[in-house]
Amino acid sequence: MKNLFIATTLCAFLGACNSQVATFQPGEIWYDTNQQMINAHGGGVMIHNGTYYWYGEYKGDSTYHAPGVEWDCYRTEAGGVSCYSSKDLQSWTFEGVVLKPELNDSTSDIHPSMVIERPKVIYNEKTGKYVMWMHIDNYNYSKAATGVAIADSPTGPFQYLHSLRPFGEESRDMGLFKDDDGRAYHIYSSRGNSTLFIHLLSDDYLEHTGQYSTNFAGKYREAPAVFKRGNKYYIISSGCSGWDPNEAEYAIADSMLGTWTVMGNPCIGENSNKTFGGQSTFVIPVNPAKDQYIAMFDKWNKLDLINSRYIWLPIRFHADSISIEWKDQWSTNDF
Ligand code: GAL
């Protein structure tokens, strides 16, 4: 850590880091370019005009157990959605809280007493809008809805539109995937988290179309992270054990709506049955032509949620199968 700090400080001083190769230290504290800990949990990365934008949950700095809720419901004040930008995936500049919480209206979906989780952003070429979808919930997660916000710039400000349950069905943990043909899909845990829905969005990405599939029924998959390689689609997901880690699983399909074939746990080696202590959130297609993809996981600290860490690891391909191995440190040269 000390070495990383010295390197970061030197880089900031000399302004010479852009030419260096990005080095990741999974599970360690990750500082932004202002030497503040990155606060972007359950996040995702949008690649846009040569810049990476990392959006995530901006967690409040005190964690408490939701009063009167029986399960392990630790929470923080919902601080909105943060955004960090980068050219190299390692050095991240804080762009601010791009979806601000609504502090003055306690009935708002985005009041700090609510839950704003797993935000993802995609750009709509037709409307020129940046569209964010997120999990919106109340203190005991019984609202089970999804919220949508739009902006004219990747760094916001995002305007919150509303929350909804897609075609009346619950929506909790979620992901978003924009395909090469411009179609976008909302992927969400529903029906008491037992079933993963994949739902085609409208052309403007603001509504659900009613064209959807129900997947892995009864398997309780959460934290979906979708990517595409060639003509194959992949979903990495977690099991359902709250903030505690469990075994990841991945599935492959020839089309987004399925049929999905379950392939097993992508993680290998020590602690792989607990996803190295992490939970999936997103896969960054860094350079698909060269099979360069990064799997993003959150390593939750349920008693101090703001102090949760990030685990970013490269995905390796073996024909259509994938594997993810722990690395204490790695760089984009190791792809
Ligand atoms: C997890 C979920 C997290 C958060 C947590 C609350 O299962 O993946 O995003 O909702 O439960 O306990």
| Any atom of ligand 1 within 6 Å of the Cβ of 32 | no
Q: Is the CB of 222 under 6 A from ligand 1?
A: yes
Check pocket membership of 42 for ligand 1, CB cut-off 6 A. Answer: yes
Cα 63 to chain centroid distance, Å, stands at: 20
Residue to probe by mutation, ligand 1, list 170, 243, 281, 296, most atoms within 8 Å of CB: 243
Q: Kindly report the protein residue whose alpha carbon is nearest to atom 7 of ligand 1.
A: 242
pLDDT of residue 20: 60
Task: Give the pTM.
Answer: 0.94
Considering only CA atoms, which residue is closest to atom 6 of ligand 1? 242
114-127 b/e with 16+ CB inside 10 Å = b?
bbbbbbbbbbbeee
286 lines ligand 1 (CB under 6 A): no
Ligand 1 atom closest to Cα of 172? 10
Q: Which atom of ligand 1 is nearest to the CA of 72?
A: 12
User: 290 C-alpha to center of ligand 1: Å?
Assistant: 33
d(CA 297, CA 293): 13
Distance 114 CA to ligand 1 centre (A): 14
Question: From the CA of 121, how far away is ligand 1's center (Å)?
Answer: 19
**Is the CB of residue 170 below 6 angstroms from any atom belonging to ligand 1?**
no
Q: How far does the centroid of ligand 1 lie from the alpha carbon of residue 10, in Å?
A: 37
| Per-residue pLDDT of the chain in tens (335 residues, 90 and over written 9) | 444 444 444 444 433 444 467 799 999 999 999 999 999 999 999 999 999 999 999 999 999 999 999 999 999 999 999 999 999 999 999 999 999 999 999 999 999 999 999 999 999 999 999 999 999 999 999 999 999 999 999 999 999 999 999 999 999 999 999 999 999 999 999 999 999 999 999 999 999 999 999 999 999 999 999 999 999 999 999 999 999 999 999 999 999 999 999 999 999 999 999 999 999 999 999 999 999 999 999 999 999 999 999 999 999 999 999 999 999 999 988 88
Check pocket membership of 173 for ligand 1, CB cut-off 6 A: yes
Rounded Cα distance between 308 and 325, Å, is 20
CA distance 209 to 192: 22
Q: How far is CA 158 from CA 79, 100, 128, 134, 327, in A?
A: 14, 8, 13, 12, 36
Instruction: Provide the sign of the torsion angle of the four alpha carbons 9, 12, 15, 20, taken in this order.
Output: positive
117 lines ligand 1 (CB under 6 A): yes
In angstroms, what is the span from residue 210 Cα to ligand 1's centroid? 26
Closest CA to 133 of 39, 182, 195, 205: 205
Question: Which pLDDT belongs to residue 333?
Answer: 87
